[in-house]
Amino acid sequence: MPSDVPQPPTRIILEQGSLWGRWGTRAAWLIAGIAVLSALASAGANAQYFQTGAKVIEQYHSLSKTAPAKVAVVDISGPIMGGSGFTRSQIDRIADDESVKAVVLRIDSPGGTVSGSDEIHYRISELAKRRDLPVVVSMGGIAASGGYYIAMANGGRDDVIFAEPATLTGSIGVIIPHFDLSKLVKKFDIEDDSITSGPLKEMLSPTKDRTPELEERERKILQSLVDEMFGRFKAIVKQGRPKLDDEKLSAVTTGQIFTAEQAKEAGLIDRIGFIEDAIDRAVELAGLTKDAARVVKYTKPKGLLDEILGGNAPGARQVTILEAVAEWTTPRAWYLCSWWPALITSGR
């Protein structure tokens, strides 16, 4: 065609992807990301499963990084529900480690169940006796009731219980929480018609309407249980604080909470100081020097997904609503610095 003949205009068409195309690409990347995270989670779970001694991981805390002799810090924090959780794992780790020459109990707990507190106290005491390990106590923000009960696993030594200046301690006593909701239930025209094998099977039921005679009978039984467990608590305190005579013991076992200064004056603790002071005392009792002692602590292992997204505090456990309700409605006796039963478990 001759060059002087006009040419039709050139049309340039820019094609855009459809809406589905754009979102489809994003969805593909999202699915790929989820797949990667799932793979990491599986890898982390497998790594933890096959790791030797994966219940706790030892970490350096302070003093010499190369010393073979160790001082182990055992962390006891939060409500004490049982003796088979993170605290038990730490104790078992120390039992298998002959290089541990002393133990520092780092307690920051308001207490918990009678059985859980007693089991932890027993296991620490037995380990200390079997291995001749000095036990020193370092109290955090609160070391009350069951927390103080565990602190008595110190072997009755002098100068081994340290409390920080702001520590609350004491609350030596037993409580079986009970709430009478029977009148409230009646207002909603609800009746507790549970079938039981005997009249005492429903002791502590918050919805049962009792006769005055049955109520008095139940209260006498429960008070006898509290009195017996309280007697054991006082005996444990006497073992851990042998210098307390009967008069002083009666004065501090009223359920009262004490400040650090008050506790020291009453003979419940030895010194006001921080964990470093307790560690120094443990090193001394073990016959070591600071240059010849490595202080270690323990944490729970995490999977790779926990490291990426963050996880719970060491030793913590997720609790379902059903578990919380079941825990609240289960009759228990408590060495606890609270009038309200714990609604969470910590696995301590």
- Cβ atoms 251, 136 nearer than 8 A: no
CA dihedral 51, 120, 63, 97 (to 10 degrees): -50
- Tell me the residue type at 240: G
Q: How far apart are CA 113 and CA 142, in angstroms?
A: 16
Say whether 145 is catalytic: yes
Q: Which residue in 77, 89, 145, 171 is the catalytic one?
A: 145
Q: Which residue in 99, 129, 201, 224 is the catalytic one?
A: 201
Dihedral sign computed on CA atoms, order 90, 264, 81, 153:
positive
Helix, strand, coil distribution of the chain in percent, nearest 5: 40, 15, 40
- Cβ atoms 334, 115 nearer than 8 A: no
CB within 8 Å of 333: residues ≥ 6 apart? 113, 114, 174, 175, 176, 225, 226, 229
> What angle, rounded to 10 degrees, do the helices at 114-131 and 212-240 form?
20
- Tokens 């009478």 identify what position? 180
In this structure, what token pair is assigned to residue 49? 């499963």
Say whether 115 is catalytic: no
User: Catalytic amino acids?
Assistant: 145, 201
